[in-house]
């Protein structure tokens, strides 16, 4: 009885405080608050009224729905306090922990925090010295932003359209790093040296004579100093982990007739989880395992993504197209071509004629030189001058992939 009174007394104690301070939370801080990752959008089972595992009301993450009783009912009463059920994974404790315990969602892609993006003046834009419109162009995948110019003539933070990006790739290759989306903004914010930025801004303020520029620089300096004093980091304005509120603060209440009244937050969380899971599946479809641990099937074998199907010796190109005789492919011996330049490779005319036969037949019919496929075949076999002219046209439009082993 004394033990029970001690527990109830300790549970009833509240911490005294005289002020509240709102600040940015780091991804590590959010994970430290969390008791588990919410992976599914489901809330409760509508037949049993029990919370779904890994869902928004999961008892394993947020705590039991009844005092000192696990979800499956194996452990009941105070004597099992603190025990974690090996069957359902729920800790035997007070149900009111569902008002305190938080969860989290691991985002498949970073997301800019709306408060620091849209609240005027935009804190992200002000810190990067970029207009809100330009930041939105990067975030909504309309433009690339240069993160690391390398040895090129580009500048850090410079925006590039698709055409400009392709031109820069052609000119500089992989000498520079430019990206789009919230990940690009995250990298820019992460690379900011706040102390160095503060020193440079103070020097610029002293040197400037323009009142407009002075106002802008003082705003930036105030923001940089606030970051330094608070100990917050700029990249925390872009979220990689989303905290999930305790379920008792966003309740789901059963009504008459089998209907439920629910907090709007549950619907918003559900949409977020659905979209996050869909995006993660799409990313894994393109390159399974690149982002981290590969998704595995029922036999624990990593599932093959599109990238896995293409790359390597067993990939589509090397296994199926280059190694075997199939339509539109051929094999030959490499010989010296004295008339060719170092970057050129010649293709035998007879081989080209064989490779592009279907296209040549089509062109012969279109021009009225052959009325049927059979007639076109005979013309190609005779190798008349009109056939070689059409071959010239066809190869001008079609690329040829060359592979030389090893």
> For 149-204, what is each residue's pLDDT tens digit?
888 888 887 888 888 888 888 888 778 888 888 888 888 888 888 888 888 888 87
Residues 233 and 154 in one domain: yes
In degrees, rounded to 5, the angle at the alpha carbon of residue 187 between the alpha carbons of residues 155 and 175 is 45
Residues 119 and 222 in one domain: yes
**Residue 289 reports pLDDT greater than 70:** no
Q: Cβ contacts of residue 84 below 8 Å, gap of 6+?
A: 90, 91, 92
Give the domain-ending residue among 68, 90, 107.
107
**Residue 146 reports pLDDT greater than 60:** yes
pLDDT digits (tens, 9 = 90+) for 36-61: 888 888 888 777 778 888 888 888 88
295 lies in a domain? Answer: no
Q: 337 lies in which domain range? A: 327-406
321 lies in a domain? Answer: no
Per-residue pLDDT band at 326 (split at 50, 70, 90): low
Q: Are 103 and 55 in contact (CB under 8 A)?
A: no
**Dihedrals phi, psi of 37, to nearest 5 degrees:** -90, 130
Range 257-273 average pLDDT: 80
Residues 73 and 183 in one domain: no
301 lies in a domain? Answer: no
Give the domain-ending residue among 241, 257, 279.
241
267 lies in a domain? Answer: no
320 lies in a domain? Answer: no
Residues 133 and 102 in one domain: no
Residues 136 and 201 in one domain: yes
Q: Are 228 and 195 in contact (CB under 8 A)?
A: yes
What's the Cα-to-Cα distance from 293 to each of 22, 288, 289, 324, rounded to whole Å? 35, 8, 5, 34
**Dihedrals phi, psi of 182, to nearest 5 degrees:** -65, -25
Domain count, the chain: 3
Give the other-Cβ count within 10 Å of 223's Cβ. 18
Residues 146 and 103 in one domain: no
233 lies in a domain? Answer: yes
Residues 66 and 143 in one domain: no
In degrees, rounded to 5, the angle at the alpha carbon of residue 141 between the alpha carbons of residues 140 and 143 is 115
pLDDT digits (tens, 9 = 90+) for 97-124: 888 888 899 888 888 888 888 878 888 8
Residues 113 and 212 in one domain: yes
Residues 337 and 357 in one domain: yes
188 lies in a domain? Answer: yes
pLDDT score at 83: 78
What's the Cα-to-Cα distance from 290 to each of 165, 276, 295, 297, 305, rounded to whole Å? 24, 17, 10, 17, 10
Residues 115 and 204 in one domain: yes
Residues 143 and 153 in one domain: yes
294 lies in a domain? Answer: no
| This prediction's pTM | 0.63
What's the rounded Cα separation, in Å, for the pair 78 and 93?
8
pLDDT score at 113: 86
pLDDT score at 336: 86
pLDDT score at 292: 54
CATH number at residue 398: 2.40.40.20
SS (H, E, C) 92-103: CCCHHHHHCCEE
Residues 96 and 116 in one domain: no
Give the domain-ending residue among 183, 210, 241.
241
């Amino acid at each position: 009885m004394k033990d029970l009174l001690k527990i109830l007394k300790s549970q009833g104690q509240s911490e005294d405080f005289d002020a509240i301070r709102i600040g940015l939370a780091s991804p590590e801080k959010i994970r430290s608050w969390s008791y588990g990752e919410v992976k599914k959008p489901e809330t409760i089972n509508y037949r049993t009224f029990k919370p779904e595992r890994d869902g928004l009301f999961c008892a394993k993450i947020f705590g039991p729905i009844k005092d000192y009783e696990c979800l499956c009912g194996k452990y009941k009463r105070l004597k099992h306090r603190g025990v974690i059920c090996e069957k359902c994974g729920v800790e035997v404790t007070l149900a009111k922990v569902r008002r305190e315990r938080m969860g989290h969602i691991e985002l498949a892609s970073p997301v800019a925090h709306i408060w620091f993006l849209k609240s005027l003046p935009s804190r992200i834009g002000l810190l990067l010295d970029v207009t809100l419109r330009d930041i939105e162009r990067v975030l909504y995948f309309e433009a690339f932003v240069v993160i690391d110019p390398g040895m090129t003539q580009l500048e850090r933070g410079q925006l590039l359209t698709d055409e400009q990006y392709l031109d820069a790739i052609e000119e500089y290759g992989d000498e520079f790093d430019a990206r789009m989306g919230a990940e690009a903004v995250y990298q820019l914010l992460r690379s900011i040296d706040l102390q160095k930025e503060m020193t440079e801004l103070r020097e610029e303020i002293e040197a400037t004579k323009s009142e407009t520029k002075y106002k802008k620089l003082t705003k930036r300096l105030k923001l940089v100093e606030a970051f330094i004093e608070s100990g917050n980091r700029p990249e925390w304005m872009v979220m990689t982990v989303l905290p999930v509120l305790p379920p008792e603060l966003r309740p789901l209440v059963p009504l008459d007739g089998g209907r439920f009244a629910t907090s709007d937050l549950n619907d918003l969380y559900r949409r977020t989880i659905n979209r996050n899971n869909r995006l993660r599946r799409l990313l894994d479809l393109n390159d399974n395992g690149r982002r981290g641990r590969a998704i595995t099937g029922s036999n624990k074998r990593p599932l093959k993504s599109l990238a896995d199907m293409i790359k390597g010796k067993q990939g589509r190109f090397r296994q199926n197209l280059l190694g075997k005789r199939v339509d539109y492919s051929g094999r030959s011996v490499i010989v010296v071509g004295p008339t060719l330049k170092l970057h050129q490779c010649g293709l035998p005319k007879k081989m080209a004629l064989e490779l592009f036969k279907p296209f040549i037949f089509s062109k012969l019919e279109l021009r009225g030189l052959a009325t049927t496929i059979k007639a076109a075949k005979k013309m190609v076999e005779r190798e008349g001058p009109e056939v070689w002219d059409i071959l010239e046209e066809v190869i001008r439009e079609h690329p040829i992939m060359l592979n030389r082993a090893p």
